[in-house]
Amino acid sequence: MLRILVSIIVFCGVAFANDDAPTWTVDQAMTNLQKGNERFVKGKPKVWDSGAAKREHLAAGQTPYACIISCSDSRVPPEQIFDASLGELFVIRVAGNVTPKEVLASADYAVGHLHCPVVLVMGHTKCGAVGAALSESDFPEPLNTLVNEIRPSVEACQSKGYGTDDLYSGVIKENARNGASTLISGSLAIEQAVSEGTCVVLSAVYDIETGEVSWQSQLSAVTTQKTEPESHPVTEAPKADEPKSDPSHKSVAKTERKVDKISSEQSQANRKNNGSKYKH
DSSP 8-state secondary structure symbol assigned to residue 237: P
CATH architecture of 23-41+62-225+252-272: 3-Layer(aba) Sandwich (3.40)
End-to-end Cα, the chain, rounded Å: 51
What does the pLDDT profile of the chain (280 residues) look like in tens digits?
A: 545 444 443 444 444 444 455 589 999 999 999 999 999 999 999 988 889 999 999 999 999 999 999 999 999 999 999 999 999 999 999 999 999 999 999 999 999 999 999 999 999 999 999 999 999 899 999 999 999 999 999 999 999 999 989 999 999 999 999 999 999 999 999 999 999 999 999 999 999 999 999 998 787 664 323 333 333 333 343 343 443 333 333 333 344 555 555 444 444 444 333 333 333 3
Rounded-to-10 torsion of CA 129, 135, 136, 139: -60
Burial of 30 (0-12, 13-18, 19+ CB in 10 A): buried
Among 205, 135, 219, CA closest to 175: 205
**Where exactly are the structural domains of the chain?**
23-41+62-225+252-272
Instruction: Give the C-alpha separation, 65 to 85, whole Å.
Output: 11
pTM attached to this predicted model: 0.74
CB 18 within 8 A of CB 115: yes
Query: What does the alpha-carbon distance between residue 96 and residue 73 come to, in Å, rounded to a whole number?
Result: 8
DSSP calls for 113-159: TT--SEEEEEEETT-HHHHHHHTT----TTHHHHHHHHHHHHHHHHH
